[in-house]
Chains A and B, each alone.
Chain A
Amino acid sequence: MIRKNWNSLQRSCRLFLFSSLLLIGCRDGKSPKEISIIWKDGKAIGLSIPREFVRDIEEASIPSRIKIRLANHHEESGIAGNFNLNSDSIAFTPVIPLTRGLTYTVSIEGKRLATIPIPAGSNAPQVIAVYPNMDSVPENILKLYLSFSKPMVEGHSLEYIFLHDEKGDSLPKIFLDLKPELWNEEGTMLTLWFDPGRIKRDLQPNKLLGPPLRQGRHYKLIVAQGWPDQEGRQLEANFVKNIIAIQRDSASPDPATWNLSIPRPGTNEALKVDCGEPMDYVLLQNCIHLIDHSGKVLKGTLSVSTDQRSCLFVPVQAWISGEYTIRVEARLEDLSGNNLNRPFDRDLDVKTTTKAQEMYERKFIITEKDFHASQ
C-alpha cells in the first residue's frame, strides 16, 4: 500500500515537473521550448536552439560560448559551423550536415545543455536495377550501371561489388578502380567499367589474364549488404544478378539498318526504333533526338525497352504528315562500347576510310497513304 502511494507520488511529481517546464518553455505562447534538428532534403543541416536557453549571455559572445560536439568527444573547440541569431532561436549550421546515426551534445559555458541523437534514415537503400537488364551479355561487355533507391556513400564501391564465377570465387581486379567514381549528380547511379585493358584483344592484360568474362560461362554480380547510403542506412541484403557471357560483339551499331515502326498522322502513337541489338541503357535514352521538317527538336518522351534493343518515342503533339529525322549522337554505344564511329576493339593498324561524324541521321516520312499501304 505504501509502495503504491509512493509510486503515485512519483508520477504526480514527474507530471508537475513536466508541466512546469512546459509552462516555462511556453510562457510567451510562441517560443520554442527545446533544441530541435533543422532538416533539409533528408539531411540534418543544423540545430535550432531557443534564445531563452542563453538569456543571460551577451549576444555577441553567443557563438563563442555555445559548443556543439560529438558525444564522447571532448575537444575544446566545438565542431565547425556558423551561428545565425534569430528573434527566438539560434540556428547552428555545421560545415557538413550532422551525421545520421551519431549523437551530439550542446554545451553552454561548459555545461551540457542537451544530448541530440540524429536518427538514421527511415528506409534502407535498395538496388533498383542493374543495366543491362538481361542476363545474357557479350563477353566483351564494357560497363554496368547500378541504380539505387537512395543516394549512396561514394568512393567505396569496389568494397561492395563482386563478380563471382561458377565456383563462387570472387574474380580479382575485374572492374576499373576509378577515383573519383563515376556517379550521377544525385548519387543514385554508378557507372562501373570492366577493365578495358582486358577487353581489348591481343593486349597484354587480355592475353595473360584473359577477358573479364568468357563466352559460355555463368557469373553472379553481387552488390553486398552493408553498403551505406548517405543517410547512414545500409543495404540489408545482397543483391544478386546472374550474368551469362555470350558471343563477343565487335561491330559498330549502324542506324541505317535499324527497323522503324512509323506511327499514324494525327495520333500520338509511339515511334519505335529497333536497333537490332541491345544498346547501352543510359546512352540510348540520351543520344536519340527527333527533328521535324523545319529542323526543330520534337518534344516528347523516350523510353527504352526492357531488352534494351529498342526505344519508343511518344511526342507531346500529334504527328503530322511530313518528313522527320532521327538524329543519333555518334557516342551511342552498344553493350560492348562500340559506338557509331568505331568499334571499341579496333585494330589501329588497319586504316579506316570513313570519317568520324558527330551525328548520324535517319529520315522517315509519315503519310496517311503509306500508313494505309502498310496495313
Chain B
Amino acid sequence: MKKVFYSLLIALPAILLLAYMNHVPASPYGLKTGTPDIKSINALAFGPDGILFIGDSKGAAVFAVDTKDNSAVDKATAVEIKNIDQKIAAVLGTEAKNITVQDLKVNPISKNIYCAVQSADGTPALLKISNGNVQVVTLKDVAFSKATISNVPAEDAKNKWGGSLRTAAIEDLNFADGKVMLSGLSNQEFASTFRSIPFPFGNTQNASSLEIYHAAHGKYETEAPIETFTVANLQGKPFLIASYTCTPLVIFPMDDLKPGTHVKGRTVGEFGAGNRPLDMITMKKGEDQFLIIANSDRPVMKVKFKDIESYKESLTTQVKEIFSTAGVPYISFPMVNVIQLDKLDASQFVLLQRESNGDLNLHTQNDRLL
C-alpha cells in the first residue's frame, strides 16, 4: 500500500504537468515562440488580434509577430508629441539625426501607435507610443512566424559568381481579406512586384503582376512601383486602391488579383507629376468615406469615395500640362511635409509631420476636416 502511495506521489507532478500542458492553448495562426531574425523594418501593418506584420527588405521576408497588445480601446486619446524623433533617440541612447522613421502604424484594437525606426548603423528598432510614452517593443522571445518573399535567390546562390544578392525593397504593406499584401522594387532590374501572401503563413504564395495606365506618362507602365496602397469597398465590392510615383490613383478589383495574373488597373485620378505619395488611409464621417493621402511634394489630400465610385472613365490621355491634374477631384488640407499617416480610431488620424523649423512632431487630427 505504501509502495502504491509513493508511486502515486512520484507520478503526481507528471500528471499535473500533463494536465497543465493540455490546457495551454495552441498558438493561434501557427506562431512559434522565439527571436525572429529581423534584419530591417521597412513597413508595418496590423492583422487580426494584435498581430503585427513586419516587412523586412534586407531579410527578404515578412514576419508576423504577436504583440499581445489586444485590450480593446474604442476611443483613442489624441496624441501630441513634439520632437518625437528626439524622444525616440533618447530612449534608444542616441541623437535624433541618427535615427530614421521607417513606418508608423496604429494597432486598431489597443489604439497604441507602433513606430519602426532604423539607426544610423542600420539596426532596426520597434517602438510603441502609449499614453504619450515612448517605449521599446522587444522582439526577443515572442510568438512569430515568417514568410520568405519568393523570387529572391536562395542563400546558396548568393556568392555563386561572387555577385551581390538581389534585394526587394518593400514599399508598402497591408493586411486585408486574410492576406498580407506588399509592393516592392528590385535593386537590380527595373521591375516592381505586388505580392499577396495568405495568413496564417503556409507554403502558398500568390504573386500578382499589375498593369496600370499612367496618365502623367501617357503610356502603360507595368514596372512602376506602387508607393502606397489600401483596400476598401467601392459600391460594396473590395478594391485595391494604389498610388504610384508621379501620382496616379489606380483601382483594381480584388477579385481580379489571381496568382500569376497580369491585371490592368483603372486610373481614376492624376494628382500631378513630381510627387511621391507616402501614405494612404481611409476615414469615415457619417455615411461618407474618404481617402486621405500624404505626399512628398503636395499637401495632404482628401478624396471622396463617392467621387471614385461615380467616376466611370479611365484616364487614357496625357494631361495637357505638366504638374496638372485630372480625374476624380480632391481637396488639399493645409498640411504639408506629412511623412507618416495612419487612422487612430473611427474619427481621428495621426500624422508625423516635419515642421518648417525642422521639428518632427506627432499629432492628431479629428474629423473636423472631413
Contact = CB atoms under 8 A, between A and B. Distances in A.
A311 to B, nearest CB: 9
Given A153-B120, A283-B188, A80 B164 contact: no
B94 A204 contact: no
Given A154-B122, A204-B319, A80 B273 contact: no
Contacts of A176: 245
B169 A181 contact: yes
A173 B274 contact: yes
A230 B245 contact: no
Contact of A180 (B57, B98, B125): B57
B109 interface: no
Interface string A174-214: 00111111111111010101001100101111001100000
Interface string A49-87: 000000000000000000011100101010111100000
B122 A187 contact: yes
B164 A94 contact: no
Contacts of B246: 197, 205
Contacts of B136: 80, 95
Most buried by B among A68, A97, A173, A333: A97
A344 interface: yes
A138 interface: no
Contact of A191 (B188, B219, B225): B188
A223 interface: no
Interface string B215-229: 011111001110000
Contact of A95 (B92, B98, B190, B276): B92
Interface residues of A, number: 72
A302 B161 CA distance: 5
Contact of A43 (B57, B121, B169, B170): B121
A348 interface: yes
Main secondary structure of the interface of A (DSSP, over half): loop
Nearest to B117: A96
A178 B318 contact: no
B48 to A, nearest CB: 26
Contacts of A332: 189
A229 B208 CA distance: 37
Interface stretch (A1-9, A98-106, A245-253, A257-265): A98-106
B287 to A, nearest CB: 35
Interface in A137-163: 142-143, 151, 153-156
A154 to B, nearest CB: 7
B273 A96 contact: no
Interface residues of B, number: 60
A301 interface: yes
A286 B187 contact: no
Interface in B58-98: 58, 90-95, 98
A197 B217 contact: yes
A204 B120 contact: no
Contacts of B166: 286
A278 interface: no
Nearest to A190: B187
B163 interface: yes
A73 B91 CA distance: 11
A153 B217 CA distance: 33
B296 interface: yes
B335 interface: no
A331 B217 contact: no
B212 to A, nearest CB: 12
Interface in B131-152: 135-136, 140
B100 interface: yes
Contact of A230 (B121, B164, B274): B121
B123 interface: yes
Contacts of B187: 182-184, 191
A99 B121 contact: yes
Interface of A: 43, 68-70, 73, 75, 77, 79-82, 94-100, 102, 104, 142-143, 151, 153-156, 173, 176-187, 189, 191, 193, 196-197, 200, 202-205, 208-209, 228, 230-232, 280, 282-283, 285-286, 288, 301-303, 331-333, 337, 339, 344, 348
Given A154-B122, A180-B57, A183-B58, 4 more contacts: A80-B135, A99-B93, A187-B122, A283-B189
